[in-house]
Amino acid sequence: MKYEAVIGLEIHFQLKTETKLFCRCKSEHDATPNTNVCPVCLGLPGALPSINMEAIRKGIAIIRVLNGTIHKRSRFYRKNYFYPDLPKGYQITQHVASLGTDGVLLFKVNGETRKVRIERMNIEEEAARSIHVKTGDVLLDYNRSGIPLLEVTTYPDMRSPKEARFFLEKLRNIVTYIGSSGCDMEKGEMRVDANISVRKKGESEYGRRVELKNLNSIKAVEDALEFEYQRHVRLLEKGEPIEKETRLWDEFKGETRSMRKKEESHDYRFFPEPDLPELVLTDEFINSVLDELPEMPDVREARYKAMNIPENLVSQIIRDRNMADYFDAVLEKYKDPQEVAKVMVNELSGLVRKHGGNYSIFPLTPHDFAELLSLKKEGKINRNQMFMVINMFLDGKGTISELVSPFLKEEVTFSLENVVEEVLKEGAGLVEKYRQGKTGVIGALIGMVMKKTKGKADPKRARELLIKKIEEG
């Protein structure tokens, strides 16, 4: 293909705070419309904004994990435009004096490391929510008005829609990891606008840029960019002009359509917000934010791989910070990372999904899980008994110590070695088949052992003994 895409993104993250950016109204998703409002977020005359410093903390954390420069001095501006969802007639945002600049994010596409530079990261307030109803009217919910956002603007460093998708997936992962935003696109906690132009490969000049909006998922971003790339190529091949405009993505038709001509920066008549002083941050404040940052996914990935944990298990664990924290807590008591990773990913995660879907609220503590793994390793309980105890515990039938106690107190009234000898005699036909190479019959022999011991034998140990005695005999 002789053409290449040139893509830059603008991502807005809703910062996870209790209250809005410039007032004390609650920042809630599902509140009754127009109940979390006050003179400040409704833009009533005489109301004065006051900065929510928790939003600044959340923003600084994102800037840091994007390897950006945190500016101790920044300023808010008024971005002027008229729209019903903007009660003041302007949006308070940052413009040329940003909270953060010059970031970078590394990510992999098909095993190849790519780099996208971040131009600036601005704190700003959200507009109201527009609700389109069947009558054709538009209702406005001002609960969203004034919710804190961090706008992340990239340089046009991406060269394909696929790269944009991988970049966004990595970005969303690290932002949720540090807890600055929930990044739930269905709830509007993460929104993406994409800018794309197309040029011939080898050219240095950019083509005519188009902005894409109404991208409500990462898949929609990739699909819209792919459609727009193909549209640009067709126009270039025909020698037809490409309009500089904003276009909407229609997910149902799988195409973009023109929304409006693209505005320039001067159209917004930016000027410093007179009701807010310059934002000045101390080293102590910035360091207190940085000290609270968790170990990042890339660092954890390297640490887990050094433990010889299979890569597919590592990728599952680091995807969820709560799962990774749980994993580390289990390892403090039970020092077998490969087994813990295998059991958590393949078995325990299914139970977590049934009981809240989050390791941070999972009733079974890492300490209790480690204890059960230890008992299994010592041969005091087997795998089936361990999960029997866990399921009874999750069903509220007692504590772990109460539930596991009967298994520990049961008297072992058999010698596993003697039982294996009996099974080998009774299953002589199966033994002969095993020696002929039909090793799958070992399962039937293990079943005979489990039946004779009423399920009390350790299947793994039974298997080892059966194979040893067959090969010796």
Reported as a single tens digit per residue, the pLDDT across 270-329 is 999 999 999 999 999 999 999 999 999 999 999 999 999 999 999 999 999 999 999 999
Q: Domain count for the chain, please give it.
A: 3
pLDDT at 95: 92
Amino acid making up residue 460: K
- Give the N- to C-terminal CA distance of the chain in Å, as an integer: 67
C-alpha angle with apex 10: 288 to 133, nearest 5 degrees? 110
State the Cα–Cα distance between residues 343 and 330, nearest whole angstrom.
12
Q: What is the mean pLDDT of residues 44-69?
A: 97
Which range, of 228-237, 382-391, 451-460, averages the lowest pLDDT?
A: 451-460
The residue among 37, 223, 256, 26 whose CA lies nearest residue 141 is 37
Both 191 and 113 in one domain: the answer is: yes
The torsion angles phi and psi of 119, rounded to 5 degrees, stand at -75, -55
Q: What is the pTM of this model?
A: 0.82
Domain range for residue 169?
Answer: 3-285
CA distance 148 to 344: 36
- Residue type at 310 in one-letter notation: P
The three-point CA angle 302-305-310 to 5° equals 145
Over residues 196-208, the mean pLDDT reads 91
- The verdict on 305 and 383 lying in the same domain is yes
pLDDT given at position 348: 96
Q: Is 409 helix (H, G, I), strand (E, B) or coil?
A: helix
Residues 435 and 401 in one domain: no
Best CA proximity match to 353, nearest among 81, 163, 345, 127: 345
Q: Do 253 and 352 fall into the same domain?
A: no
DSSP strand pairing (210-215 vs 245-250): parallel
Average pLDDT, the chain: 92
Distance separating alpha carbons of residues 369 and 364, to the nearest angstrom: 7
- Report which residue type is found at 54: E
Domain boundary among 234, 261, 285: 285
Do residues 94 and 123 touch, judged by C-beta distance below 8 A?
yes
Same domain, 103 and 251: yes
* pLDDT for the residue numbered 264: 62
DSSP conformation class of 270: -
108 and 71 within one domain: yes
What b/e string do you get for 268-291 counting C-beta neighbours within 10 Å, with b at 16 or more?
bebeebeebeebebeeeebeebee
pLDDT tens-place string over residues 413-436: 557 788 888 888 888 888 888 888
What confidence category does residue 454 fall into, taking pLDDT thresholds of 50, 70 and 90? confident
For residue 290, being part of any structural domain is answered with no
367 & 422 share domain: no
What percentage of the chain has pLDDT greater than the value 70?
Answer: 97
Same domain membership, residue 199 and residue 320: no
Looking at the fold, whether 128 and 269 belong to one and the same domain comes out as yes
Tell me: do 116 and 170 sit in the same domain.
Answer: yes
Same domain, 314 and 366: yes
- Domain final residue, candidates 285, 303, 332: 285
CA 293 – CA 281 distance, rounded (Å): 18
| Residue labelled with tokens 């990935």 | 301
Q: Do 20 and 140 have their domain in common?
A: yes
